[in-house]
Structure 1
Amino acid sequence: MTPRDGRQDFDFLHGRWKIRNERLKQRLAGSDEWDTFDAAQGCRPILDGMGNIDDFVSDWDGGYVGMALRLFDPKTKQWSIYWASDRTGILETPVVGGFKDGVGTFYGRETHAGRPVLQRFVWSEVTPSSAVWRQAWSIDEGKTWETNWVMRFTRVA
């Protein structure tokens, strides 16, 4: 029997999804204009359940392809989430965290326009057929946050 230590927290994401994206056009600029677009995603487990990998495909901005790699550390009981896309071709610095009371919160560091930012991913409203992911950035070490990307997942299969 597999221990209930958090390694199953992302099992809900396995399968195929349609995603409605809302992405802030200008980040950290006081903008309230959003791009809205659809994407498709497929996610599968890897490493005997210690992680998963997904592909993200959209026609947004001339076409956008990305992937997330999620790995569970059984010692710390935390997840590391890495992102890569066809724009950079590199695995980005991860956000790290976990789930509590059905909400997953993950933090990491990012750079935007030469400025360091604190990054937060939040997974919420998880059901067998839907989920919501939000990304937010802070330039004041988490005192205030600007949400700049929201994904609304609907299960296809």
Structure 2
Amino acid sequence: MADKDFDFFHGRWRMRTRKLRDVFDPTCTEWVELDGVTEVRPAFGGAGNVETTTLGTEPPLQAVTVRLHDAEQDLWRVWYVSTRAPGYMGPADEGRFEDGRGVFICEEELGGRPGLVRHQWTALDTGRPRWEQAFSFDKGQTWETNYVSEHEPLED
């Protein structure tokens, strides 16, 4: 049942994150490591969820992600907002889960250039899900990963 796709992610998680220092600079090769905590709660009887995240930057990055499932189209839409760009909510990523992987894509301006953003979920059945962000500036022919978060459950 597709509206249960994100059930693997409900709860509290420790995030181990690696990101390029400047995700918008195509020549950047310097990775930084950050730790954080995220909590995901179901909404609308499983047809959605809300994620709150605090990532150990200085000052701390706080973010909210809202995911909603469109059962008619069997499509998830994902919105993200953070203290990095207060007052701005970008376009929704759209996608679905197939073959043990979730892929969600949107068009967005990236560092002043039009491009595609892909968010991908893998390792869903391991109890330690992995999330990646990648950008494409050639309409999806090639992708450059710039952000990776691995999650492990936090005990209450």
Instruction: Kindly state the Cα deviation for residue 76 of structure 1 after the two structures are TM-superposed.
Output: 0.3
2:65 corresponds in structure 1 to 68
Structure 1: 5+ residue stretches without partners? none
In 1: Cα distance, 2:95 partner to 2:82 partner: 22
1:131 is matched with 129
**Alpha-carbon distance in 2 for matches of 1:128, 1:142:** 28
CA distance in 1, matches of 2:58, 2:117: 23
Indicate the residue corresponding to 1:92 in structure 2: 90
Which whole-Å CA distance do the structure 2 matches of 1:148 and 1:61 have between them? 19
State the Cα distance separating 1:127 from its structure 2 match.
2.7
Q: Distance in 2 between matches of 1:20 and 1:7?
A: 27
Deviations 1:12-31 (A, max 9, x none): 11000000010111234222
Code of the aligned partner of 1:96: E
Pick one of 112, 115, 118 that aligns with 1:114: 112
Query: How many pairs are equivalent?
Result: 153
In the TM superposition, what is the alpha-carbon distance from 1:46 to its structure 2 partner? 0.6
CA RMSD in angstroms comes to 1.2
The range that moved more, 60-69 or 37-46, is 60-69
Task: State the shift of 1:114 in Å.
Answer: 1.3
- How far is 1:128 from its partner? 5.4
Runs of 4+ residues deviating >3 angstroms: none
Matching residue of 1:101: 99
Query: 2 CA distance for matches of 1:116 and 1:19?
Result: 29
Pairing 1:2-81 to 2, within 5 Å after superposition: 4=1, 6-27=2-23, 28-81=25-78
- Matches of 2:88 and 2:109 in 1, distance apart? 14
Provide the C-alpha distance between the structure 2 equivalents of 1:59 and 1:34, rounded to a whole number of angstroms.
15
Higher mean Cα deviation, 69-78 or 86-95?
A: 86-95
Partner SS for 2:51: strand
Q: Any conservation in 2 of the 1:66–1:84 contact (CA below 8 Å)?
A: yes
